[in-house]
Structure 1
Amino acid sequence: MYTGFKHLHSTLAYVLLAGLLISIVYVLFAYLQNKAYNRKMALLGLICAHLQLVVGLAIYFVSPLGIKGASGEAMKISTARLYFLEHPLMMLIAIVLITVGYSKAKKLTVAKKQNGTVLAFYLIALILILSRIPWHVWPAGLAG
């Protein structure tokens, strides 16, 4: 079961990155061209992020690298620290930013402000996500 979740989480990472990039590019063009806000395009990034969060939380609690690996000694080991603290915390912050950006945009009435809000929050979230992906296991994360 753990291996299946690990493969799913690795695969969904690509889906999340693609969904966020599509949302960001679409909203960027809408912002620059003063077009109407398309909530469904922003929803694409939001759904991908939350789906990845659910799978990531399941892995965090069953993986030996997740919460089970948390200790004072593990803080001294950069790889262990990445898996049990840095990666989950940064991803959680990024998903909160995506959710807040989507929610704020929904409450606004001016299309330019809606697009700008989603663009800003999603871009910051994407930067945070990219900063804490365990690149040393990519693309091998799918193979094993």
Structure 2
Amino acid sequence: MKILVLHGINLNMFGQRDPKQYGTTTLAQIDARLGELAAELGVEIECFQSNCEGALCERIHRAHTDGTQAVLINAGAWTHYSYGIRDALAILAVPIVEVHMSNIHAREPFRHTSVIAEVCQGQIAGFGADSYLLALRAAVASAQARQDT
């Protein structure tokens, strides 16, 4: 099973950016932890980060035909306004799990709205780097359930 993990704008700065909200864990450390859990679960993951919205959309488009069976996405600030990313995700016919390290619903009002939420199976937020691990477990379980039907 192949799972695509998408990291959006500014997430390459985890570990340096606003440690009060995001902690000190780096994106490389998050990806490493995801890799360990993926091995434990017996799935393959690919992690992709971009600060260019078009590059993220193009990677989503490739997921439509490359055997991706589930997607985790933390779109960063694009979560709140990128209809381009939302529409790219809507093309996919696989489980999509939205993930955030901070609790976006307990932050500034503009962060309370996710334009990608309606094309995602669910959202996991507020558990720091563990949000990604919870999201991977959810994505794998959802993809397996689809295979079993």
TM range (shorter): under 0.3
Query: Which of the two has higher C-alpha Rg?
Result: 1
| Greater RCO, 1 or 2 (C-alpha within 8 Å, sep 6+) | 1
More strand by share: 2
Q: Give the alignment's TM-score, normalised by structure 2.
A: 0.27
Q: Give the alignment's TM-score, normalised by structure 1.
A: 0.28
More helix by share: 1
